C-alpha cells in the first residue's frame, strides 16, 4: 500500500515538498530516509505552525509552484531478451516466484503492489512503475530515485536458473528533471554505461536529441553473434514510448485522487487509449499519481502519471501492433494534454527486411499531430539490427505561454535522417 499522508494533519508546503520527493513505496530504508530527510525532521515542527489553508498539492495555482523539490517522473527502462536451451523450463522466467522478484526489486528500492497475468506474460504494478516478465524476456521501468541497474545481476542469476542465454540488452531513459537527486549508478550517463559494460563486457551508449532541448539516452548490447543463436527474426517488433511534461491543468487533475476513489479503481480515460479487450491493472496513489498495466494478448500497455504542476509528467508505452501510430499518439495527447513531449519508436527489425532504403518508410509514419509542433526529429539505423525514430513536440498552447518563450527560442527544428 502506498504512503497515505493525511492533508489535515500535515498542511504545510514544506510537507508537500517532502512528500512529493518520496519514492512511492512504504518499504523505505531507515538509514537512507534519515540521511535524505534529516533537515525535514528538524524543521517540520516549525512548518506545522504555519496557518492552515485549503490547498491541493497538484493544482497549478497552488503553492507547489514555488516548491523546489519534486518527484522524478521520467523512468529508467531496462530490457533483457534471452534465448532458451533444451534445459529451459516451459514457463522460462515466469517460473520465478513473486517473492524472488521482490527480492530483486529491493535492490532498486521499490515494491510490488499487484500482479496480473495472462497466457503470455506476467505484469507487476510497482510502487515506482512496472515490471513485465515473459518466458524469455524481462522489461522493467522505474521512476523516482530508484536504482534500477542494481537489479541487473539478480536478473542474470534468475536467467541462469532457467538455463537462458543473453540475446539482447537495452537500457534507455530521457534526461532527468532532478539529476542531482539520483543515486549511483544513475548519477551520470557515463556512470550508467560503464556500469553496464562492466557487467556485459560489450555494448555502446549514445545520446540523441536536440542540442538545447530534451535528450534521450540509449545503451544497446547485442549477443546475436553468440554460437547457436538463430540468425533470422521472422517479424519485426516495435515499441513506442511517449514521455510527456507540462500537462494542462484539467488533464493533470484527472489523476488527483478523490475521497471516494479506491486504490485499484479503473480510470475512465484509459478507454480512449486501449482496446476494449485489454485487461487492466490500475493503482491510484494518495494524494495523487496513477499507474496502469494493460495486458492485450502478447502486448502490454503501461501508463504512469505524476500530476504535480511543478513536475508534471505522464508516460505511455506499448509493444502492440498498431495500425496507425498517428491515431494512437493523438489519443494519448488528448488524454494527457502535454505541453511538451518526447516520442521514441524503437524497432527490432526482421532480418528478412534489411533493405536500408526502406528504413524510413517502415519506421516513420506521419507523426504530425494537430495542435503540436515538431521541434526535433531524427531517424537512425543502429547496430544489432535495430532502428529508432525520436521526436520532440511542443503544443501550440505551451509554445505561446510565457514560461516557454525563452526555452523555445533556443530550440532548433531538426529533420535529419542518420540512417
> Of the listed 17, 21, 25, 75, which one is catalytic?
75
> Of the listed 267, 301, 304, 310, which one is catalytic?
304
| Backbone torsion region of residue 246, taken as left when φ is above 0, otherwise alpha when ψ lies between -120 and 50, otherwise beta | left
CA distance readout (Å), 399 to 185, 246, 315, 396: 35, 11, 20, 5
**Residues facing 299 on adjacent strands:** 296
Distance CA 367, CA 341 (A): 12
> Of the listed 25, 72, 127, 267, which one is catalytic?
72
Compute the Cα dihedral for 247, 244, 291, 108 and give only its sign.
Answer: negative
Distance CA 24, CA 112 (A): 11
Q: Is 267 a catalytic residue?
A: no
> Of the listed 143, 151, 288, 311, which one is catalytic?
143
> Of the listed 17, 20, 64, 291, which one is catalytic?
291
Q: Is 129 a catalytic residue?
A: yes
Q: How far apart are the first and last CA of the chain?
A: 47
Name the residue among 214, 204, 125, 112 with its Cα closest to residue 173.
Answer: 214
User: DSSP string spanning 14-60?
Assistant: HHHHHHHTS-S-S---HHHHHHHHHHHHHHHHHHTTSPP----TT-T
> Of the listed 129, 309, 315, 395, which one is catalytic?
129
Q: Is 186 a catalytic residue?
A: no
Q: Is 75 a catalytic residue?
A: yes
Cell of 278: 485489454
Catalytic residue numbers? 72, 75, 129, 143, 291, 304
Amino acid at each position: 500500500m502506498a504512503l497515505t499522508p493525511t492533508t489535515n494533519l500535515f498542511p504545510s508546503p514544506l510537507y508537500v515538498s517532502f512528500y512529493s520527493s518520496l519514492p512511492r513505496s512504504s518499504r523505505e530504508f531507515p538509514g537512507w530516509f534519515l540521511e535524505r530527510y534529516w533537515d525535514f525532521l528538524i524543521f517540520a515542527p516549525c512548518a506545522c505552525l504555519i496557518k492552515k489553508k485549503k490547498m491541493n498539492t497538484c493544482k497549478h495555482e497552488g503553492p507547489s509552484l514555488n516548491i523546489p523539490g519534486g518527484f522524478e517522473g521520467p523512468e529508467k527502462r531496462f530490457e533483457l531478451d534471452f534465448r532458451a536451451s533444451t534445459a529451459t523450463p516451459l514457463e522460462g522466467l515466469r517460473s520465478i516466484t513473486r517473492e524472488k522478484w521482490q527480492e530483486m526489486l529491493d535492490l532498486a528500492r521499490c515494491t510490488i503492489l499487484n500482479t496480473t497475468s495472462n497466457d503470455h506474460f506476467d505484469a507487476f504494478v510497482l510502487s515506482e512503475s512496472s515490471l513485465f516478465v515473459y518466458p524469455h524476456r524481462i522489461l522493467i521501468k522505474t521512476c523516482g530515485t530508484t536504482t534500477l541497474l542494481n537489479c541487473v545481476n539478480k536478473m542474470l542469476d534468475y536467467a541462469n536458473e532457467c538455463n537462458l542465454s543473453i540475446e539482447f540488452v537495452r537500457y534507455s531513459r530521457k534526461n532527468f528533471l532532478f539529476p542531482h537527486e539520483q543515486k549511483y549508478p544513475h548519477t551520470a550517463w557515463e556512470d550508467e554505461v560503464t556500469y553496464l559494460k562492466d557487467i556485459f563486457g560489450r555494448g555502446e551508449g549514445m545520446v540523441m536529441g536536440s542540442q538545447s532541448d530534451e535528450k534521450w539516452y540509449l545503451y544497446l548490447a547485442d549477443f546475436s553473434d553468440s554460437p547457436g543463436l538463430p540468425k533470422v527474426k521472422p517479424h519485426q517488433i516495435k515499441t513506442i514510448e511517449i514521455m510527456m511534461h507540462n500537462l494542462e491543468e484539467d488533464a493533470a487533475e484527472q489523476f488527483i485522487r478523490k475521497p471516494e476513489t479506491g486504490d485499484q479503481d479503473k480510470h475512465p480515460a484509459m478507454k480512449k487509449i486501449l482496446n476494449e479487450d485489454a485487461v487492466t491493472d490500475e493503482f491510484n496513489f494518495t494524494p495523487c499519481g496513477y499507474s496502469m498495466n494493460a495486458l492485450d494478448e502478447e502486448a502490454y500497455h503501461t501508463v504512469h502519471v505524476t500530476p504535480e504542476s511543478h513536475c508534471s509528467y505522464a508516460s505511455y508505452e506499448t509493444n502492440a501492433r498498431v495500425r496507425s501510430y498517428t491515431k494512437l499518439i493523438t489519443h494519448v495527447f488528448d488524454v494527457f494534454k502535454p505541453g511538451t513531449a518526447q516520442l521514441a519508436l524503437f524497432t527490432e527489425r526482421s532480418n528478412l527486411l534489411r533493405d536500408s532504403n526502406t528504413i524510413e518508410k517502415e519506421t516513420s509514419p506521419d507523426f504530425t499531430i494537430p495542435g503540436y509542433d515538431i521541434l526535433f526529429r531524427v531517424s537512425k539505423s543502429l547496430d544489432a539490427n535495430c532502428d529508432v525514430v525520436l521526436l520532440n513536440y511542443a503544443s501550440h498552447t505551451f509554445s505561446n505561454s510565457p514560461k516557454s518563450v525563452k526555452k523555445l527560442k533556443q530550440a532548433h527544428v531538426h529533420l535529419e535522417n542518420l540512417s
